[in-house]
Structure 1
Amino acid sequence: MAVSTRTKSSATRPLIVTLIVIVVIAALGFAYASPYLALNNLKRAADARDAQTVNQYVDFPALRESLKQQVTGLLTRRLDAHSNGNPLAAIGAMIGVALLGPLVDAYATPDGVAALLNGMPPRGNPGERPPVPPAANNPSAAETPAPTPAPSAAPTQPDAAANNANPAATPSQPPQTTAGYRGLNEFVVTYQHGAGDARYSAIFAREGLFTWKLAAVDLNP
């Protein structure tokens, strides 16, 4: 009887070890994929203006502070660049500094998060608000890549004026996006519309083992 019990125990031990190894590998795989899942879930929720779900994936106090620092740096660089050049541009940058609070408040919202995740960061323009991303009125658009628009004639004068007045308007094509870890507890998504265009990054921070939240932006990566 004792021999039989010992034999059964020896037979089940490799099975238990195998199950433990499978569980550990699955947990590690899920831990690695968790920021990608968080990014996907947050983008869907932001495009759908699902504020409750957005709140689960965004650290708004940290994002607000990051936006304040980044936009201040953006405007400071703009002032330095135009200090001996175009005085109107310098005045615009100074106005932007004065209106920094409303701009940050506008982007630290589900609308602002949707804009950030659709390639439309703040530009630091006076009175700027996050533009409405194309997927906002059609959440399924986030799942299907936008077709490449056919070449068209040069825009008419009113269109060109509208583009100049609102440089943060919805881009005609989705941005090029790269994502990856930048350390054990930081995950970075970088957006760029073209080889010569400026880049910016959305930064997710780890909270616990599997939870990630959008916590910062980098407007000058």
Structure 2
Amino acid sequence: MAVPTRTKGSATRPLIITLLATVVIAALGFAYATPYIALNNLKRAADARDAQTVNQYVDFPALRVSLRQQVTGLLERRLGEHSNGNPLAALGAMIGVALIGPLVDAYATPDGVAALLNGMPPRGDPGERPPAPPAVNNPPDAAAAPAAPAPGAAAESATQPATNTAPPQPPQTTAGYRGLNEFAVTYQHGAGDARYSAIFQREGLFTWKLAAINLNE
């Protein structure tokens, strides 16, 4: 009785199916990771004030609209809280409403994006601007080194309370999908502090851009 022989095509078919399955799984994994990659790239570019790269990951027209809506809502809530209280506080909130435009202009910049992604959202204060980028810490040379203290100065300084110069703690951050086309990063400094979110929107299949914030999480 003749034994059926396997053709070359039938022998390679399982290999082709395995390769196709591997490609599909890899593509799905990459697609899932794309907003995390965009967030990482945007934060690094914003911290470095790399405007060209920031522009690739931020939908500035949409972010401006969102900033205006969110800051307006923030000041309206503040005005409502103080309507039966301190009239000066209410006046300050009203002044803040008039200054929304400059605040939005200040935060729709690489400096503003860096502040949003480092847990420093706008508070709606008059004249508010995002914090300036930190100065580069260059090691002091020998000529700039401070002079040695006098003999009695060490004992005197030891009696003075130490100044707390510890930098502020970074905010607690969580990130995840809120839908097929929306990805949010939520920031909170402490258990009792207010939360806010930076929201990325999908553009195309693999592209994500920062398009909105939510100051009332």
TM-score band w.r.t. shorter chain: 0.7 to 0.9
1:158 maps to none
What CA deviation, in whole Å up to 9, does each residue of 1:3-33 have, x standing for no partner? 98x7111111111111110000000000001
Q: Secondary structure at the match of 2:7?
A: helix
Shift of 1:58: 0.2
1:174 maps to 170
* Higher-helix-fraction structure: 1
In structure 2, how many angstroms separate the alpha carbons of the residues matched to 1:63 and 1:153?
43
Give % identity. 85
In structure 2, how many angstroms separate the alpha carbons of the residues matched to 1:23 and 1:60?
35
In structure 2, how many angstroms separate the alpha carbons of the residues matched to 1:18 and 1:133?
50
Shift of 1:132: 2.7
Amino acid in the other structure paired with 2:171: P
Answer whether contact 1:115 1:133 (CA < 8 A) is retained. Answer: no
What CA deviation, in whole Å up to 9, does each residue of 1:170-195 have, x standing for no partner? x7110000000001000000000000
Shift of 1:196: 0.8
1:195 paired residue among 191, 194, 197: 191
Shift of 1:115: 0.1
How is 1:95-134 mapped onto 2 (pairs within 5 angstroms)? 95-132=95-132, 134=134
In structure 2, how many angstroms separate the alpha carbons of the residues matched to 1:131 and 1:87?
29
Amino acid in the other structure paired with 1:198: A
Amino acid in the other structure paired with 1:215: A
Change (3 A) 1:65 1:137: farther
List structure 1 runs of 4+ shifted beyond 6 angstroms: 152-155
2:201 paired residue among 190, 202, 205: 205
Amino acid in the other structure paired with 1:191: Y
TM-score w.r.t. the length of structure 1 is 0.81
How is 1:5-20 mapped onto 2 (pairs within 5 angstroms)? 7-20=7-20
Equivalenced residue count is 189
Q: Secondary structure at the match of 1:23?
A: helix
In structure 2, how many angstroms separate the alpha carbons of the residues matched to 1:68 and 1:154?
39
Change (3 A) 1:137 1:107: farther
1:62 maps to 62
How is 1:23-34 mapped onto 2 (pairs within 5 angstroms)? 23-34=23-34
In structure 2, how many angstroms separate the alpha carbons of the residues matched to 1:57 and 1:12?
43
Q: For structure 2, which runs of at least 5 residues remain unmatched after alignment?
A: 138-160
What CA deviation, in whole Å up to 9, does each residue of 1:121-146 have, x standing for no partner? 00000000001355x748xxxxxxxx
Q: Secondary structure at the match of 1:182?
A: strand
TM-score w.r.t. the length of structure 2 is 0.83
2:74 maps to 74
State which structure, 1 or 2, has the greater radius of gyration over its C-alpha atoms. Answer: 2
